Structure 1
Amino acid sequence: MPLRLEDLKPEAQVTGLIGREAVRIVSAQMMGEACDLVFRDGQGNLQSQILFRDREADLELVAGGRKWSFQGDGDKFRLVSEGERIRLAYLFDPYVAVSSSAIDPLPHQISAVYEHMLPRQPMCYLLADDPGAGKTIMAGLLIKELLIRGELERCLIVAPGSLSEQWQDELKEKFELQFELLTRDLINATGLGNPFAEKSLLIARMDMLSRDQELQTRLEQAPQWDLVVCDESHRMSVHYFGGEFKPTKRYQMGQRVGNHARNLLLMTATPHNGKDDDFQAFMAAAG
């Protein structure tokens, strides 16, 4: 039967290389539109030829060879198998983000992430815990767990400017997650591009984003975020004065960013300012 150069496999028997004599292929390596072929003739002698497409009509398969061999790169195989092991690790270790991070989480942090957040996908969640309860640890665990499970590629963290570098440092040191800060230099470096599309792990300053309508438009033009984390989210609140709804720029920004995310995590230690109308409006925006 006629065959293509790509069909030549080790151990296959082929005619058309040396007259009508059947030879046994030792190795076949494609080089663009040519094939570097090593084979043994009927007397067992080792020969080699470089075949081009015009020889395909002369070739005929007598017996098929192996579809696989042990001639591959061992280092690449080890790398791929290790990657698969890590990707599927959560099936065997339900707390793989904990065991692979430089943290010693407390019971309430484990409960929040593994019992309440992870089972809710897609998720819109308000994490309202006391100051010092480790909300950053919980967010880092959630991000890393979703990354390991293959459910997250793009993550945006919106935080006050004074906390943005702290977020970057903690995620790097404790979870080995490399987030980039959205700075004017980064925006200028992208030129006509979109930093929100080009960077998949990003930290944006809350006020910088809320004051720049063009930035918010570019964010909406980029692919949807798998997860958006808003720290100190009570700053994106809304107020009622004399029964009139008064949204702030931060509030409007939070709505636009939250609507462009599959999962939204709001974090604050003071979700309620004592005014029920403000709180209900805040929760409505989050929902």
Structure 2
Amino acid sequence: MEQIRAGDIIQGPYWPEPVELNLVEAMGPYVRIVGRTTISRRHVDQVISRTEVQNFQVSTVAADFKASPHKVFLALEALRYRYASLYDPLLAMNISKVDPLPHQIEAVYGYVLNLPRVRFLIADDPGAGKTIMAGLIIKEMKLRRLAHRILIVVPGHLKDQWRRELKERFEEHFVVVDRSIMGALFGENIWSRENQIITSMDFVKQKDVLASLRASHFDLVIIDEAHKMSAYHYGNKVERTARYRLGEALSRLTTHMLFLTATPHKGDPENFRLFLDLLCPGFIATDDLLKESILSQDNPLFIRRMKEDLKDFEGKPLFLPRHVHTISFDLGRESPQEKDFYNKLSSYVQTQYNKALAADKRRNVAFALVILQRRFASSTYALYRSLQR
């Protein structure tokens, strides 16, 4: 008992690595030891007999100042970076290969990172740089030790683009998980093995994949094109799509959650309220409360800026102004031949469409017939090329 005290680092047969002591308490013929392992940082709280304590070895730390100066410098830099976020509130921005714009800095540091628990939707117009905002959030939360395990769910065609941008701009390495990766690691849960993952929304929504995902936990989940996770209210029944059920599962297995989309609202307030329920279930109880929060611009769950609102540091607009004009066109008077052709095409499509639906397994034909009308609405040449193909 006399040879060990709080602050000592001891070694013994009870632990595979040295233990740093925080408390040594005498309990008659026993001694209570409280501390943590020096490498894995695992908590230790054990009662051991005094006889066994006598056999413990007390480690001493002696500085011989013989280490390589380069290694000492790297160690000090690592320690400095560990606490850098306490002194530099824009650390991620300053160490990444990006030049963020005012609206990006505002969204990341003025909204998202001010939340004690990130559950947020960034719904800016296309071209606002939502990927850059997501990268800054990832970097900053890692530096602040708020996120270690990160999952990014995106449409299938954007997986490689996300991986490339995060690597080139933020030096963040993500593993793309798909069916081939899961097959190569059969019998192992890939979601628990990797800490930074990018995957496809339509891949991970599959039942067998989603079942393995539910066994994992992430600190941060980011979903691009999040509006695809939709649910609809019909009378007293809520119809949830497979993507929406994926969103519900992801919401339960993560601490922080970020949605990205340029088209959050489909014109149905109830659909939008159910969408926000994925971020914070029950936060907005009725459509009226949602409408009121949007009108007053006082909703802590999302931010939306239009292209006209985005400016650089000098206050100049980032995008040219949009001017919308509706031009009337009388097809029958200005192009009677096109009108006649369109009517005949419509009659043909309607007749053949009904025939296709009546036949078994002919829905692909019905869809192709409807496409012909769209082609003709574009131009007669587009229709001509479609018929050739």
User: Structure 2 length as normaliser, TM-score?
Assistant: 0.55
Paired with 2:66 and 2:230, the residues of 1 have a C-alpha distance of: 58
- Give CA-to-partner distance per residue, 1:21-63, whole Å, 9 cap, x none: xxxxxxxxxxxxxxxxxxxxxxxxxxxxxxxxxxxx9xxxxxx
Matching of residue 167 in structure 1 with residue 124 in structure 2: no
Picking from 115, 118, 121, the partner of 1:120 is: 115
Paired with 1:241 and 1:149, the residues of 2 have a C-alpha distance of: 44
Cα 1:72–1:184 shift into 2, 3 Å: farther
Cα 1:83–1:238 shift into 2, 3 Å: same
Compute the displacement of 1:100 (Å): 0.8
Matching of residue 238 in structure 1 with residue 231 in structure 2: yes
* Secondary structure of residue in 2 paired with 1:118: helix
1:69 paired residue number: 63
* Secondary structure of residue in 1 paired with 2:218: coil
- Give CA-to-partner distance per residue, 1:258-285, whole Å, 9 cap, x none: 1100000011111110011111111112
Which has the larger displacement, 110-119 or 83-92? 83-92
Compute the displacement of 1:73 (Å): 2.8
2:136 maps to amino acid: L
Which has the larger displacement, 168-177 or 115-124? 115-124
* Secondary structure of residue in 2 paired with 1:263: strand
- Give CA-to-partner distance per residue, 1:223-272, whole Å, 9 cap, x none: x2110000000000112345532110000011101110000001111111
* Secondary structure of residue in 2 paired with 1:286: coil
1:115 maps to amino acid: G
Matching of residue 214 in structure 1 with residue 211 in structure 2: no
Cα 1:67–1:256 shift into 2, 3 Å: closer
1:138-157 correspondence to structure 2 within 5 Å:
138-157=133-152
Picking from 245, 248, 252, the partner of 1:252 is: 245
Gaps of 5+ in 1: 8-56, 58-65
2:207 maps to amino acid: Q
1:195-210 correspondence to structure 2 within 5 Å:
195-210=190-205
2:134 maps to amino acid: A
Compute the displacement of 1:67 (Å): 4.6
2:298 paired residue number: none
Gaps of 5+ in 2: 4-8, 11-54, 281-389
Paired with 2:251 and 2:75, the residues of 1 have a C-alpha distance of: 36
Compute the displacement of 1:72 (Å): 4.9
1:190 maps to amino acid: L
Instruction: Give the share of equivalent positions with the same residue, in percent.
Output: 38
Paired with 1:271 and 1:127, the residues of 2 have a C-alpha distance of: 9
1:10 paired residue number: none
CA RMSD of aligned residues (A): 2.4
2:98 maps to amino acid: I
Paired with 1:79 and 1:152, the residues of 2 have a C-alpha distance of: 23
Q: Which has the higher contact order (CA 8 A, sep 6+)?
A: 1
* Secondary structure of residue in 2 paired with 1:269: coil
Q: Whose strand proportion is higher, 1 or 2?
A: 1
Paired with 1:78 and 1:150, the residues of 2 have a C-alpha distance of: 23
1:12-91 correspondence to structure 2 within 5 Å:
67-74=61-68, 75-91=70-86
1:249 maps to amino acid: A
* Secondary structure of residue in 1 paired with 2:255: coil
1:186 maps to amino acid: I
- Give CA-to-partner distance per residue, 1:138-185, whole Å, 9 cap, x none: 000000011112221100000000111111111011111111101222
Paired with 2:200 and 2:179, the residues of 1 have a C-alpha distance of: 11
User: Structure 1 length as normaliser, TM-score?
Assistant: 0.74
Picking from 180, 185, 191, the partner of 1:185 is: 180
